[in-house]
Structure 1
Amino acid sequence: MPADPEFQDHRPRVAAERRARMRRRLIESAMVVFAQRGIGSSVIPEVIAAAGVSQGSFYNYFRTNDDLLEAVSDVLSHDMVQMIEGVAGDIEDPALRVATAGRLYLHLVRTYPIVAQFLSGTGFSLVGKKSAIYEHLPADIKEGVKRGTFDADAADIGLDMATGAVLIAVQRIANGRTARDYPERIVRVVLKALGVPAASAAKLIAAPLPKLVAPPESLLKAAQQKFAALAEASS
């Protein structure tokens, strides 16, 4: 006879939820520490202190700096892609899709300083599968070349060129104030380098763009709150 659901043992579920919360807590703290310190040295002691956990508890979840960095990068990339694709994912024109996604990405970086500092501090170590840039851009460029929207050369070097431009833009945003239209200017240059005529590029970056707001449960929101609290406490 099946057990009465009212009397089923919920301990495995509760334990799993507790582990998920602890892992998330460590990831949030790690993002803040990486943003402050970069990846030049071990951040594990600082993450343990920031999360307020024991060393033994920490090593139940992560073993190395690289494990931490990969976890933060995966969650951050997922959050950013979800937000950006919610706006750009259904756009039919690949050039407009690239323009919209690029602008949204850079505006998110500027809206959430923790993201700018984290990406700036980790730099080229995130170029590849862990970067939100690589989630959809290769396919968008390929489609644009196929349609004749982008130059054929863009199929080979477009991704590298766009990534380099974005990384430099992130560095500038992290290191100081930029003009209000800075994301648009960067994206316009990228579009032109991909082969889009100047007049068309200007129209693409002038399209209406919603302001993205990270949901409360996102890593962007939680880490930004911790980052801002630390900045206020030290001021």
Structure 2
Amino acid sequence: MPEVPNPRASRRHDLAALIAHRESDNGRHTRGARRKRETRDRLLDAAFGLVAKKGMDGVTINEITEAADVGFGSFYNHFESKEGIFAALVDWLFEEFANALDRLAGDLSDPAEVVAVCVRHTLMRAYREPVWGQLLISEGFSTRALNRGLGQRLLRDSERGISERRFVVADPLMCLISVIGTILAAIAAELHFAASSKRTVTARKMLRSSEERFAERTAAIVLQAFGLKRVEAERIARRPLPTGSEVKSG
């Protein structure tokens, strides 16, 4: 006797086939998205390496694609122009660094110590990576820098300090602007002194020993701008940095 088809079993089979097909499509889509993301990161990494050697004005799209081992035409699948990749590069570097600072200071309860730790790490990274420091100086007051990455974290931490009455400021906006200006000016001075002190190994070692002290002094000035007394600001700025490590570039 012929087997009678089971409509319910047939529907289950069709549904299983549909789900398998969709999962296969999703897998292909995920792999494609991952490859696209990896290509974009290679282009950004190549651009940063070239900028470190030649500066932004001296880098061409062709050099970027060759360094990234990506076809010239593929560049435009990710960026509209050279200016576009440099804008994305700034976001990529500073957003990643800001995320690293968040992880490092995540267990700190005092907003003043959070700000001090972030300022000190920012100064020390600018010293270790002068190109990164120059990028921060050039972009420090741009809309991009203020609305994302380090600027957004500083705004968040200052607002937290004010709301908890840890910071006392008459004009929060002007205070934030002055704090950003202080940090950028300190980085500019640090890079100038570093460049002028690279003539001998001895001078470099001496500057290295003073690098952390300079970062501490800058952090203390920032905390005073937020209303802390000088003695307390200096004490907080000299606290040991959270263990776990040095904040590095991505």
Q: Same fold (TM over 0.5)?
A: yes
Which stretches in structure 2 are left out of the alignment for 5+ residues?
1-12, 195-206
Residue by residue over 1:3-50, the C-alpha shift from the partner in whole angstroms, topping out at 9 and shown as x without a partner, is 496994644333222211111000111223344454557743332333
1:140 aligns with 2:172: no
Which of 217, 222, 232 is 1:185 aligned to? Answer: 217
Query: Which stretch has the larger CA shift, 21-30 or 147-156?
Result: 147-156
Query: Which stretch has the larger CA shift, 86-95 or 2-11?
Result: 2-11
Instruction: Compare the two structures and name the one with the higher helix fraction.
Output: 2
Q: Distance in 2 between matches of 1:141 and 1:13?
A: 39
Query: Which stretch has the larger CA shift, 7-16 or 26-35?
Result: 7-16
1:107 maps to amino acid: M
Q: Percentage identity across aligned positions? A: 27
1:16 maps to amino acid: A
Contact 2:140 2:146 in 1 (8 A): no
Once superposed, what is the RMSD of the aligned Cα atoms? Answer: 2.9
1:169 maps to amino acid: A
Aligned twin of 2:188:
171
Which stretches in structure 1 are left out of the alignment for 5+ residues?
215-219, 222-235
Number of aligned positions between the proteins? 215
Aligned twin of 1:17:
34
Aligned twin of 2:97:
80
Aligned twin of 2:146:
128
Contact 2:217 2:234 in 1 (8 A): no
2:78 maps to amino acid: Y
- TM-score, structure 1 length as denominator? 0.76
Aligned twin of 1:194:
226
Aligned twin of 1:212:
246
State the Cα distance separating 1:84 from its structure 2 match.
0.8
Q: Distance in 2 between matches of 1:176 and 1:53?
A: 38
1:53 aligns with 2:85: no
Aligned twin of 1:227:
none
Higher RCO by CA contacts (8 Å cutoff, separation 6 or greater): 1
Which of 116, 120, 123 is 1:106 aligned to? Answer: 123
Contact 2:97 2:247 in 1 (8 A): no
Q: Distance in 2 between matches of 1:35 and 1:171?
A: 17
Aligned twin of 2:82:
65
Instruction: Spell out the pairing of 1:34-49 with structure 2 (5 A cutoff).
Output: 34-40=51-57, 43-49=60-66
